[in-house]
Each structure stands twice: as C-alpha cells, then as structure tokens.
Amino acid sequence: MTATADAAAPLVSEEDRLRADLYNFLGLILASPPDEFLLGQTAGLQGDDTDLGVAINALAKIAKLSKPPAVEREFNKLFIGLGRGELLPYASYYLTGFLNEKPLAQLRRDMAARGMTRAQNVYEPEDNIASLMEMMGALIAGRFGEPASLADQKTFFNTHIGPWAGHFFSDLEKAKNSVLYASVGAVGRVFMEIEAEGFRMSAEKSA
C-alpha cells in the first residue's frame, strides 16, 4: 500500500501515535515473516499490567526465544501452505466465506476516496489483515494527508476491521501451527477490543 501523494506526517497526540505504532507493528509482522531485526525489536517491547500490556510482554518473551527460520516455517504453515495456509486472513473470507467479495470492493472504493492505492509490488488482495492494520495506522498518523478525524477512524474501523479482525486474531491465537503468532494473535485480539470500546465510548460522549 502507498499514498498517491506523499505528505509530511503532521503532529498527532501521543496516544494516537502509540495506537498508530501498534497498528503498524501488527501490519508489519503479519505481512511477512519477521527477520532477525524485527524479532529483536519485538523482544524489546515492554508492556504494563493491563490486558494489552500482559499480552505484549508475553509476545516479547517468546520473540526472545524465536529464530527467523523457525518463524518463517510457522508463517508459511499459517498463511501460505500447500494451496492455502491454516488461516485465510482476508475480510471477504471472514465476512462472506469467499475471497474477493463485496468487502474487498467496498474497501477499494474507500481507499480511493482517501488517496490510498495498492503498492505496485504487492499482489495480495487489499482486504488482508496486514494491509488493513497498515491502513488504519496510516489514517491515524496522517500518512495520506491530514490525520483522520476520530469519526472517520471509527467509520473505517467499523466498516473494514471491527466486524472480523477480532475473530481472526482469536483464530490466530488458537491455530494449530501458531507459536510466536499465538502471542501476536493475543495482542491483536486485545487491541481490537480496546479500539472497539474506545470508538463506542466516543459515540456515547458525542450523542
């Protein structure tokens, strides 16, 4: 994914920067197997005693014990496999049971409206979980112009992420081939719950 026009990222609040960073991290580690550098960064993460912090600490702990070749095998079993992996991380599949369905078409319309296009070297359908995490982080941080308003973030989340991402992360957490990615799933699941609740509370305040 890339922007049709590059723009200097404007200032956002510290809370939103942290949200964007976590979305971007999930997008990165779900897009391809982490190399030694990303595993090292993951091992250095530090959480607190909240549910999300506990999940982040667990991920950091297993990242310290993980080696790139083993994680690559794990990634391939989960997402690639022979013909298909254990999981199909696409909104269309989770919402309709089929790939390349209406959720993808709607996402492409919303991407165009926000000045987002698929990068030329990316061939995955845009509704895969890694791309959606990256898009959400970019909207929050303002990588495609002005940072998205809270209302626009909520609309994008509730349309393209909220209805299925929590289910995907829960499946990833429990998948037969998940080791490192079981902890990634836990972080994603808890984060999606926090985001959904945050958007719900913001709607109540504005009502």
Residue with the larger pLDDT of the pair 99 and 119: 99
Long-range CB contact pairs, 96-99, < 8 A, 24+: 99/125
CATH number for 67: 1.10.3480.10
pLDDT of residue 3: 41
For 127-186, the pLDDT digits (tens) are 999 999 999 999 999 988 889 999 999 999 999 999 999 999 999 999 999 999 999 999
pLDDT at position 202 is 82
Which residues are CB-neighbours of 39 under 8 A, at least 6 positions away?
A: 63, 66, 67, 68, 71
- pTM for the full model? 0.92
Does 111 score more than 60 pLDDT?
Answer: yes
Query: In terms of residue numbers, what domain contains 25?
Result: 2-206
pLDDT band at 115 (very low <50, low <70, confident <90, very high): confident
How sure is the predictor about 206, in pLDDT bands with cuts at 50, 70 and 90? low
| Residues sharing a CB contact under 8 Å with residue 55, sequence separation 6 or more, in sequence order | 47, 183, 186, 187, 189, 190
Q: Which residue has the higher pLDDT, 10 or 119?
A: 119
Q: Helix (H, G, I), strand (E, B), or coil: what is residue 8?
A: coil
Mean of pLDDT values over 3-25: 77
How many residues would you count in the chain?
A: 207
Number of CB atoms found within 10 A of residue 142's CB: 18
Contact between 141 and 190 under an 8 Å Cβ cutoff? The reply is: no
**What are the pLDDT digits (tens) for 40-50?**
999 999 999 99
The pLDDT assigned to 82 comes to: 72
**Cα–Cα dist 58/43, whole Å:** 9
Gap between the Cα atoms of 179 and 63, Å rounded: 10
Output 99-104 pairs: Cβ under 8 A, ≥24 positions apart.
99/125, 100/125, 103/127, 103/160
Q: Is the pLDDT of residue 120 over 90?
A: no
pLDDT classification of 10: cutoffs 50, 70, 90? low
- pLDDT, tens digit, 9 for 90 and up, residues 56-99: 999 999 999 999 999 999 999 999 987 789 999 999 999 999 99
Residue 78: name the closest of 192, 146, 190, 179 by CA: 179
- Which H or E element spans position 119? none
User: What integer is the mean pLDDT of 91-108?
Assistant: 96
Element (H, E) at 2: strand 2-3
pLDDT for the residue 121: 76
How many independent structural domains does the chain possess? 1
Q: What is the dihedral of CA 203, 50, 190, 74, to 10 degrees?
A: 160
